[in-house]
Each structure stands twice: as structure tokens, then as C-alpha cells.
Amino acid sequence: MKYIRKVDSIGRWDGTKDPLYDGAFSTGDILLSELKTANNTLSIWAYSNDNEKDEVLAAIALTRQHVERLAYVIMDEDEIKRLGIPLTPEEGLSDGIVKKEILERHANLDKIDFWRLGYVAEYITKLAQKEDEHSQLSDKKVYKLIEKFIAQKDIDYTQMNEHLRESLDRARLKFGKVI
């Protein structure tokens, strides 16, 4: 099984934006911003094929306030297990998603302590340095993805976050309605 973990910027992880220090695998700021835990957990989304991948990317996009670029890394279940990090399924929270199967693909990396947080940071740093283990969607691609699932009735526009709906309406003017 593969998992997606949203990150703010691949450049922060691979060292091109925030230079890495001698011997360091990531900067301290990353731990405080991109790996901020809630109840000692980190959110990830599972997928097994391209359609499921698109569905979870749309679910992640719906957790935000704006239609904007979306950067992420692709984590492998076996590597997560090797790091000794428990994985617990938990229905995802994504305003607007009406297809329950999508929300059921959410899980948490659990019992994140200081050491495990470092292991996750090191793992994400390695993923950011491998071309096929991360990606970024432009704001236009995110917009098209959301519109695709609205058209398929997997997303209910009226149930989306108000700020995201307003941003989607602006994107419709900018990019044109896509179905």
C-alpha cells in the first residue's frame, strides 16, 4: 500500500529552499511546521491505483482554505512499519467529500514521539530527493481535480468549506469551468 503525506514544499525537504546543515537531514523549522502533530499523530491517505490517488489528492485539497498548489510525498507501508511507527485507520475529515470510501482511506501515523518524528523527517527528506517519490500539483491541476469529482458527484460543492468554495469560484473564472 502507498500513502500520501502533504508537505508545504518539496524544496524545503530536499535542501533547495532551506539549505541543510552539515550532517543534518532536515531543518528544525520543518519539524515545527510541516510535521506538527495533533495528539501525537500525523495524517496520511492510502491509495492503490491512479484513480484512488486522485481521490485522496482531492480529499487533501478540500482540507485547505484555497485552491492552491499541492505538494506531497509518497510513503510506502513497508517502510513505515520498518520505522516502527504504528498505523491506525481513522475516517478522514474533508468537507465536501460524499463518497465514504475516500474518507476511509485516511490513516494516522500514531504514537509519534521525538525519535519517531525524526525518523519520519529523515524518511520524507529521502523521498524528496527521489524524483518518483514526490510530486506537486499546480493550482490549475488541483482545480481540475476538484471539478472532476464534483462532476462525478463524489464531492458536494455545498458541503465544502466556505472559503474554499469562494476560491473555487475564483478559479472557475480564472481557468474556465472544466468538467
Look at residues 150, 153, 152, 147 and name the one whose alpha carbon lies nearest to residue 174: 147
Distance (Å, rounded) from C-alpha 28 to C-alpha 149? 37
Q: Which domain holds residue 71?
A: 2-175
> Grid coordinates standing for 3?
500513502
Task: Tell me the whole-structure pTM to 2 decimals.
Answer: 0.91
Total domains present in the chain: 1
For residue range 104-154, what is the model confidence (pLDDT) as tens digits?
A: 999 999 999 989 998 999 999 999 999 999 999 999 999 999 999 999 999
Q: Tens-of-pLDDT digits for all 179 residues of the chain?
A: 999 999 998 988 877 766 665 555 666 777 778 888 889 999 999 999 999 999 999 999 999 999 999 999 999 999 999 999 999 999 999 999 999 999 999 999 999 998 999 899 999 999 999 999 999 999 999 999 999 999 999 999 999 999 999 999 999 999 987 65
> What residues contact 152, with CB distance under 8 A and at least 6 apart?
none
